[in-house]
Structure 1
Amino acid sequence: MIRTNLEPLVHQQTALLLVTSPSDDGEKSIITSKLALSIVEQGKKVLLVDGNIRKPSLNHWFKLPNEAGLTNVIDNVNEAFLNIQETFVPGLFVLPTGPMPVNPADVWMTGKINELVRYCEANFDVIIFEGPPFLTVSDSHILANQCDGVILVIKENKTKKKDVIKTKEYLERKNNQILGVIYQTG
C-alpha cells in the first residue's frame, strides 16, 4: 500500500525520500528496507542511505561492512561510488554510515549533502534516507529539506501523540511534504 501511494513520486526523474520517526520507538530500519525492496520490484534502481550515524542499522540488515560509508563520502563526494555497496538484491544498493565522526553534526553541512544528493540523483532512480529520530537530533531536519517527502513511522502505545504533532508542525512549517505515516502495531 505504501509503495502504491508513492508511485506518482517514484515515477518522476529521481525521487528522494526520508523515513524517520518522532522518537526512537519504531522499527524504521525494517520498514525502510522493505519499502526499498518493494520499489526495486518495480524495476527501479534504489539507494538506501543510512543517515542514522549514531545508531547505524542498515548494514546489519543487509550483512554489509560499515568501515566506510556516508561519513567518508561527505568528506569526499567523488568517492561515493567506492562506498556504495551492492546488496544481494539486484538493483538495491546501500550507503552505510561509515565510522562515527568526532562531531556527528559536522556531517550534515548543507553544501556537502547537496553534492551527495546530486551525485546520487545521477545514478539512482530512488534514494531513501533512513534518518534518526526527528525530535532527538537535527540530522533528520536537514535531510527533510533535501528530500521530496517524508514518511513518518510511529509505534502504537510507544510514540507519544505530542511528539507526532510536534514533528508534523515542524515539517509543515518548513514546507516539507509528509507523504504518509506508517503506524506499527504490537
Structure 2
Amino acid sequence: MPSRYHPALVTLHWVSALLLIVALVAGTLVLAPVPNSDPSKLLSFRLHMGLGFVIGILTLIRLAVRAKTAHPAPATTGIALADRAAPLAHWALYALILAMVGSGVALSLNSGLGNAVFFGGEMPANFEGIAARAAHGIIATLLMITIGLHIVAAIWHQGVRKDRLLSRMGYDKR
C-alpha cells in the first residue's frame, strides 16, 4: 500500500482546489453583487461558467483516477467520530462539486443565461424565482463550509497532531 496518493491525484487535488476557490470567490464576490444589466457581468459569467465546466471535468477525471489507482490506508486520529466522518466529508466534497456544476447548468438552461453568454442573446433581468439559482447558492455555501472544514482538518493534522498527513498529497516517493 503506498504512503502517498498517485501523482495524478495529487495534481488534480491541488489544481481543483485552486480552481474551486477562484470560482467560489468569483461567484460570491464578483457575480452576485453585480446587477445583470451591467455589461461587464457577461464576461464574468463566461469565465465563471467555463471554470465550472473545467472543475466538473476535472472532478470526473479525479474520480476515475481514484478508482483505478492505489492509495494510502485511511488516516486514523484516535478519535472514532473523526475517523468515521473524514471519508464522508471527502465524498461530500465530490458530491457538492458535482451538484454545484449541475445546478449551474440547470440555472443556465432555465434562465436563458447560456444563450446570452455563448450566443449573444439577452441577459435575464434577474434570477428571481429560478429554483436552480437558489440551489446553486445553497450548494455554494455548503461547499465553502465543507472546504473550510477540510482545510482546518489538514492544518490540525499538520500543526497539532504533527502526523504528516498532508505529505500524502505531495510528490515524494510513494
Q: Common fold, TM-score beyond 0.5?
A: no
Structure 1 length-normalised TM? 0.25
Compare the two structures and name the one with the higher strand fraction: 1
Compare the two structures and name the one with the higher helix fraction: 2
Structure 2 length-normalised TM? 0.26
